[in-house]
Structure 1
Amino acid sequence: MTRRNSCDHCPGSHSGARACLASATVKPRAWLLLEHPGPWPERIEQLTGPAPIAAAVQAALAAGVRPQLIRRTGRRRGVPPVQVYAAYSEGDRVWMEGRELTDPGGLAELDLAALAAGRSPGLGERVTDPVLLVCTHGRRNACCARTGAPLARDLAARFGPLVWETTHVGGDRFAANLVCLPAGLYYGELGTAEATAAVAACLRGEIVLERFRGRAGLPEPAQAAEHFVRAHSGILEIGAVTVESVTGTSPYEAVVSARGTRYRVVVEDAEQAAGCGPDCGENHGSYIVRDLTLLNEAALV
């Protein structure tokens, strides 16, 4: 029996009151997005059909690529054809390509090992517009459907074909969640106004720090260090801030470059309140900044 969590018993959950910085998923840099109208199983690896899509999910997982099922809001078409995107989001190696496959059997021809290494899997043309993923995976967590589905509809009304519903992206306790690819930007605890601001910033190549969870593929202390440098410097361009290194255990020491200016940042673990239910128990920790110093200069905070 599938367990469905509800946050209705927890006033204030998913209200934007909790800090969500440095909570983006840390593993994926390579992504494979596969159109599938649903219903979606509780976990994507449990998908059984259509067979070519289920096989592509398993192949992606085996290759170290993160698969996501995607679908349009409202009335959904069946499959085929299947819209497919491949994306890579690591540092300045950020790109995406996409194609609509009339025959989903063509998924077996993708070079997923190349994608995992940051190279084209042979999918198709590069995609210049971002893909905006809103988690609506209600079978995984009811909060994602309750808060994500209306947000997806609102964003689709504003930004059209850029917007897709998607399966679990991590961090259920921060629903509604938005992921902007190919940059791998995570936002959480979003209402329509906050999500619209985040998307508008993404389209102009920037980040909004409010409700910004971090960048996928970076260790959490690195996400925290990037966040604090951006907050201090006011630099919001997506590619303008780079975490050069993170060392130690809490407190962690990071070196961060922002438009050529290098900072030493010391961040420390901090506890947050527990999630709103048994399935919202991810990412209880957060981070605080202990020191932010221009290298070879006096401390700034």
Structure 2
Amino acid sequence: MSLDLSAVAEIPVGAGTAKVRRRRRRSPRQALVERVVGLTILVLAAVAFVVVPLVSTASPTALADLPQQSPSAAHWFGTDSLGRDSFVRVFAAGWTDLLITVLAVTICLIAGTVSGVGIAACPGPIRSVVLRLIDALLAIPHLIVVLALIVLLGQQQLIPLLPASASSIVIAIVMVGWAPYARLTVTQALVLRERESVVSARLLGYSRARILLRHTGPAMMGVNLSYAATQAVLTTGVTASLAFLGAGVPEPTPELGMMMQQGVALLPTTWWITVIPGLFVLVLGIGFALVADSIDPQGAA
């Protein structure tokens, strides 16, 4: 039996792509709803992560009861393998993970955007060499680089707001995470500078700073912010997965990935030790994903 490809050959090349784009397009109202829901999830989570450990009578690091107690009125999320209250530990751990994600992504966004603007302003040959170096960095698996950097940095408290090991995670993520923003910024800057509005501004004698702030800057930040929200989803997952690779935030600091890793061996009998922190990671990921989708320029109607 032969396969007739004549009908397939008659389909226009862009037909499928156009259909997918139409399907992805959404109204401004839908984007606003996604943004509000995503931000609400993240804000409520951040408030809970701060408030619950403060008002709780239990300590995230002290023993509260017998080990592996199931969820009850005394311990809403049960106790872990050492007997610590999982409820207060999960919220304290959530703050650690959220802080790592927000700090890492914010620094990547700022450093990558600023460096991208500087690279775009360089002469052509220099810009080409720098872009090749950035492409080489992007070609390396980021997780491997992050793991190597965490080992090299060790458990030093390089960032005051974070525990020592968490500081190493943030710095390691930043050292590889700035490159995509720089690449995006350079690409956009080279395209935007040929726009009529930018060309007219240059002819009128506007300074580079004014053109950047009023014309090219706002256009570039939309794409970069969308990528930042997407990177936040990935960073949340990477931070949680580091514990399974032996490079996460060690005890006694509560961290969602470490809590999940500690309960994997006990999953058939004490599911709450792993499942509940995993649900918190999922909630954070959904919040960041909704924000990313709502500000995606390609999905706008």
TM range (shorter): under 0.3
Q: Which of the pair has more CA radius of gyration?
A: 2
Q: TM (normalized to structure 1)?
A: 0.24
**Higher normalized helix content (fraction of residues):** 2
Q: TM (normalized to structure 2)?
A: 0.24
Relative contact order, CA 8 A, sep 6+: which one is greater? 2
